[in-house]
Structure 1
Amino acid sequence: MSKKYFGTDGIRGLVGQSPITPEFALKLGWAAGKVFASNGNKKVLIGKDTRISGYMLETALESGLIAAGVDVGLLGPMPTPAISYLTQTFRADAGIVISASHNPYYDNGIKFFSAEGTKLPDELEHEIEAMLDQEMVCVESEKLGKAFRINDAAGRYIEFCKSRFMQDSLKGMKIVVDSANGATYHIAPNVLRELGADVISIFAEPNGLNINDHCGATHTDALRKAVIQHDADVGVALDGDGDRLIMVDEKGMEVDGDELVFIIARHALKKGELKGGVVGTLMSNLGLEIALKNLSIPFKRAKVGDRYVMQLLKENNWSIGGESSGHVINLDHIPTGDGIVSAVQVLAAIVDTGMSLSELKSGMQKLPQELINVRVPKHKFPLEVDEVKLAIQAGEVELGDEGRVLIRKSGTEPLIRVMTEGKDAKLIKQVAQKIAEKVKAYAE
């Protein structure tokens, strides 16, 4: 059964339009509350990022949950992974995050966590969607839920993040932290300061409208300049809700999710702590696969999306995985992707080995990639055309064992993404153009 509202990463949308309206949030809170209460669960935590719409949606969700007879703990602005951790810490029955991650301020979203700090199972999401079709009826007055504010949430999460650093301290290290004017603005700089680092904090003054605005993990130009300007050892860039991490080395060069996964996995291997192999996605650079193979570390690819990386990790009983975009997962530390915890693990590798970040990432050589997006009308299906299939096959033969071809539909836009990858930059560009032209010809 398909879901009407829930996507692979909760519910997303433009604020004020379906489904992210105050009316919908009220009904969603009630529907979720009814489902949780029917299973004997009566305590839910709510956190949010720094978008201007967060307070409005928080109040609506809170009212709906209370109307269903569920108690609500309000955490205030907190990173998404913090909600996962705090839901377990406070033994709540579920956690809710109001955030649209790396998107602009005018978007928002709603994501649920289970009592174990993981994403809700599909069955519960189906139950909530079914309840959304029912008429909203408030419980009797004596059965209404209660709201309470958790004032020490930030401090608890800071201590948790610090506990993931398995070295003595970061004393003597200078770090620039870009919090994207988002949910980590009062968390990430303090974690690293309390571990002993000299921290220069940028983009840590949220005003409700500047979240992810030319800053953070999706826009690292300012961080790269700041690292050079301050002669820093490393730069840390998080996105608006703190589950995505991109770093910058001492030379001002970006270190992406594939390279971070490699550094963390290799360090775990050297310490004898690596469980099995590593999970990437279809978009992970071939250089990651090759570098891990050279270390005899198994590697598997999941569909794009941290939900699918998580599924494959659990199926194989592995711990480490991630995406090029900076979603890095280590289930030995927390049951979801966590940008701050991932940064702490990389910093631990720097301290433990005495190597710089540029030296650590040099063990993996990224291969050139070419990506072409072809716009396709909804009623056209060019990937099913024989001529297109033959063009893809010809490209795969042309690249041989030194490259790969990946063709996929976008999950959010009417696009076919044509990606080629290999050692020869000129060749992969030619192959991508040939396939894209054929896709375009049958999409018109």
Structure 2
Amino acid sequence: MIKFGTGGWRAIIGDEFTKENICILAKAMADKMICEQVDGKGVVIGYDRRFLSREAVVWSCEVLAAAGIKCYFVNRSVPTPLIMDYVMKHQFPYGFMVTASHNPAIYNGIKVFTYGGRDADEDQTRDIERYIARVDAAGIPRTRYEEAKRQGLVEEIYPMNEYIDDIMSKIDMEAIKKSQLKVAFDPMYGVSKTALSTILISGRCDLDVIHQEHDTLFGGRLPAPTADTLRVLQNQVVEWNYDLGIATDGDADRLGVIDDKGHYLHPNDILVLLYYYLIRYKGLKGPVVRNLATTHRLDQVAETFGEKCYEVPVGFKYISAKMTETGAIIGGESSGGLTVAGHINGKDGVYAATLLVEMIAVTGKPLSELVLEIRKECGEMYMEERAYEFTEQEKERLLEVLYEKRELPDLSDYQVDHVSYMDGCKVYFRNNGWVIARFSGTEPLLRIFCEMPEKQAAREICGLFEKYLGL
């Protein structure tokens, strides 16, 4: 029942996300650590604001403690990247974060991080699943939480200052102080408020925060910073003349942005802006890494400055690995996650937001002007995105059409260059355009993304796929 996708294990609360399954996963990880002889180094565990998150950590600690493994329990809800940062800096073999990231409120889950603070890759997750299969659910030993604390097998920590100081050491805080920016911030009832508010206030920003309360239902909205979920933030930026609006998802590893004109900036735009800023204004040199469902405008920016863009499958573990391999200065994905070389080996919405503020301060230009500057220098592309729910029977049919028979709609009007099945079905066109159909690794959805030099062409191609697949 416990299967890992691109963002760890996620499941509906009370269905598969249960106390029994949480304990099974904890026991599997304990067995794995003992077998690998890293159990003596302990493990760090954190959680977000979702229903049952803290309880899930307590149950996991009880199982791990019974196996003699010390747990460093971050005893307040914190951003996922804080846990990754702590695993990396303190050289833990593993770390856990109880979160379902941007999924609907009925979900929860657990992310596993490996040495270096990296997302567990496919080899690791398959290995974890093998250990899970061997666990006898009826015979899992547990040590009561308070007893485990008394024995020194659980230590409660709160390394928020370390995480905040690390980000501030990498940012031009003096430039931010001088800019006196007016910022609206929406943590979306998630865990970024303390970290990002502290950083921005330290930068003397005029800051206002909305949706900061603890609400396990996320105000009835999806805790993902999209054009639909950021209407309130958008209205606030326009009505009160903010320099920008910033939002982070439920566990603060993804970023959403409203510019000074009140326009929602797609995560693709944010990635392009920051890569352009690092090269044009900070004078850095190096390639960029994106997944295959992320804008090819990054390729255009890289080409403009004599650099290279590398493409990898969906999953941030592939981005961070490719960055290490190629010396890339930034990597990211169209769902809003990114990181910069020298920071953690995973996505961080708090750091990305701070870097964006630095960009405005250093350039002295509003976001809307920077967007136009990039379009003028590096060209433009238009993205169309669609998502479809399906039944298990429909999924089997779609898998057969797309991956087994490898059938496609008639795309002869668009000059197909080649087709890749590296991760989903992606068609590349000769004009740098592309379309991909792939199943989400975090939600039961089929996603179709198309990017073309003309908006109408992108819509038409998505429509062709939709009609052909009977969606």
> TM-score of the superposition, structure 1-length normalised?
0.88
Q: Does 1:231 align with 2:280?
A: no
- Structure 2 unaligned blocks of 5 or more: 418-427
Match of 2:5 in 1: 7
Q: Which of 358, 380, 394 is the matching residue for 1:377?
A: 394
CA distance in 2 between partners of 1:210 and 1:386 (Å): 41
Residues 1:408 and 1:140: Cα distance change in structure 2 (over 3 Å): closer
CA distance in 2 between partners of 1:352 and 1:383 (Å): 47
Residues 1:192 and 1:371: Cα distance change in structure 2 (over 3 Å): closer
CA distance in 1 between partners of 2:332 and 2:202 (Å): 27
Match of 2:170 in 1: 164
- Structure 1 unaligned blocks of 5 or more: none
Match of 2:439 in 1: 410
Match of 1:309 in 2: 319
Which string of whole-angstrom CA distances, capped at 9 and with x for unpartnered residues, describes residues 263-320 of structure 1? 2222222356535211122222343432332233321222233223223323323131
Amino acid at match of 2:207: V
Equivalent residues in 2 for 1:182-201, closer than 5 Å: 182-201=190-209
Amino acid at match of 2:230: T
Please say if residues 23 and 140 of structure 2, whose CA atoms lie closer than 8 Å, have aligned partners that are also in contact: no
Amino acid at match of 1:106: I
Residues 1:274 and 1:432: Cα distance change in structure 2 (over 3 Å): same
Match of 1:101 in 2: 101
For the aligned residue pairs, the C-alpha RMSD in angstroms reads 3.0
SS at match of 2:217: coil
Equivalent residues in 2 for 1:139-218, closer than 5 Å: 146-151=153-158, 153-171=159-177, 172-210=180-218, 213=221, 217-218=225-226
CA distance in 2 between partners of 1:344 and 1:70 (Å): 36
Q: Does 1:58 align with 2:77?
A: no
Q: Which of 404, 416, 422 is the matching residue for 2:452?
A: 422
Please say if residues 167 and 351 of structure 1, whose CA atoms lie closer than 8 Å, have aligned partners that are also in contact: no
Please say if residues 181 and 243 of structure 2, whose CA atoms lie closer than 8 Å, have aligned partners that are also in contact: yes
CA distance in 1 between partners of 2:197 and 2:208 (Å): 8
Please say if residues 267 and 334 of structure 2, whose CA atoms lie closer than 8 Å, have aligned partners that are also in contact: yes
Shift of 1:121: 4.5
Please say if residues 179 and 202 of structure 1, whose CA atoms lie closer than 8 Å, have aligned partners that are also in contact: yes
Shift of 1:345: 1.4
Match of 1:352 in 2: 362
Shift of 1:369: 2.8
Shift of 1:351: 1.5
Please say if residues 368 and 421 of structure 1, whose CA atoms lie closer than 8 Å, have aligned partners that are also in contact: yes
Residues 1:11 and 1:428: Cα distance change in structure 2 (over 3 Å): closer
Amino acid at match of 1:113: F
Match of 1:434 in 2: 464
SS at match of 1:229: helix
CA distance in 1 between partners of 2:3 and 2:102 (Å): 20
Which string of whole-angstrom CA distances, capped at 9 and with x for unpartnered residues, describes residues 9-33 of structure 1? 2111001122x21111112212212
Residues 1:235 and 1:419: Cα distance change in structure 2 (over 3 Å): closer
Please say if residues 65 and 143 of structure 2, whose CA atoms lie closer than 8 Å, have aligned partners that are also in contact: no
Instruction: Answer with 295-304 or 207-216: which moved more.
Output: 207-216
Please say if residues 50 and 208 of structure 1, whose CA atoms lie closer than 8 Å, have aligned partners that are also in contact: yes
Amino acid at match of 2:135: Q
Shift of 1:326: 1.1
> TM-score of the superposition, structure 2-length normalised?
0.83
Instruction: Answer with 109-118 or 85-94: which moved more.
Output: 85-94
Residues 1:371 and 1:347: Cα distance change in structure 2 (over 3 Å): closer
Match of 1:32 in 2: 29
Please say if residues 23 and 60 of structure 1, whose CA atoms lie closer than 8 Å, have aligned partners that are also in contact: no
Instruction: Answer with 390-399 or 263-272: which moved more.
Output: 390-399
Please say if residues 12 and 107 of structure 2, whose CA atoms lie closer than 8 Å, have aligned partners that are also in contact: yes
Instruction: Answer with 192-201 or 406-415: which moved more.
Output: 406-415
Instruction: Answer with 34-43 or 247-256: which moved more.
Output: 34-43
CA distance in 2 between partners of 1:345 and 1:373 (Å): 30
Instruction: Answer with 105-114 or 167-176: which moved more.
Output: 167-176
Shift of 1:187: 1.8
Residues 1:344 and 1:92: Cα distance change in structure 2 (over 3 Å): same
CA distance in 1 between partners of 2:316 and 2:118 (Å): 12
Equivalent residues in 2 for 1:100-139, closer than 5 Å: 100-132=100-132, 133-135=134-136, 136=139, 138=141
Equivalent residues in 2 for 1:251-270, closer than 5 Å: 251-270=261-280
Residues 1:334 and 1:389: Cα distance change in structure 2 (over 3 Å): same
Residues 1:149 and 1:417: Cα distance change in structure 2 (over 3 Å): closer
SS at match of 1:252: coil
Instruction: Answer with 187-196 or 360-369: which moved more.
Output: 360-369
Residues 1:430 and 1:390: Cα distance change in structure 2 (over 3 Å): closer
State how many pairs are aligned: 437
CA distance in 1 between partners of 2:130 and 2:317 (Å): 22
Please say if residues 96 and 113 of structure 1, whose CA atoms lie closer than 8 Å, have aligned partners that are also in contact: yes
Identity of aligned residues (%): 24
Shift of 1:191: 1.6
Shift of 1:372: 4.9
Residues 1:216 and 1:139: Cα distance change in structure 2 (over 3 Å): closer
